[in-house]
């Protein structure tokens, strides 16, 4: 199982909003696929899937506030 974590975006940036998910729960995805987009006031940032497998659960829906370091989904690894 691999968790999807909101990465460090830069000094002093602690929060963002989930703009959209590119995959739905239950869908298969490959490592490196664009998985979700988060946004700050002036930037959008695509987060890639950290693993290949199945997107088992999304913890935070579109429009939710999230913090750097927070787990927002989990992936059941392929194989």
Partner 1 sequence: MKIINLGLIDYNSALAIQNKDLDDVINGAENRLIFCQHHDCLVTGRRSNLSNIKTDKLLLTQKGIPVFNSPRGGNVTAHNPGQLICYPIINLASLRPDLRWYFSTLENSVSATLDTLGIRAELDERRRGVWIDGRKICSIGIAVKKWVTYFGLAVNVNNDLSIFSHILPCGEEITMTSIQQETGKTTQLDALALLLADNLSAALNKPLKTTKTETNL
Binding footprint of partner 1 on the chain (CB under 8 A)? 8-13, 19, 34, 37, 39-46, 48
Query: From the CB of 47, what's the least distance to partner 1, in Å?
Result: 10
Residue closer to partner 1 (CB basis): 10 or 26: 10
Q: How far apart are the C-alpha atoms of 37 and 44, rounded to whole Å?
A: 7
Query: From the CB of 17, what's the least distance to partner 1, in Å?
Result: 8
Query: From the CB of 55, what's the least distance to partner 1, in Å?
Result: 19
Rg (Cα) of the chain, in Å, rounded?
12
């Amino acid at each position: 199982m691999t968790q999807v974590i909101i990465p460090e975006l830069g000094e002093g940036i602690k929060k963002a909003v989930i703009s959209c998910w590119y995959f739905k729960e239950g869908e298969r995805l490959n490592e490196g696929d664009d998985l979700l987009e988060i946004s700050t006031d002036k930037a959008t940032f695509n987060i890639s899937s950290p693993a290949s497998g199945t997107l088992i659960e999304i913890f935070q829906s579109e429009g939710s506030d999230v913090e750097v370091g927070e787990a927002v989904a989990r992936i059941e690894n392929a194989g």
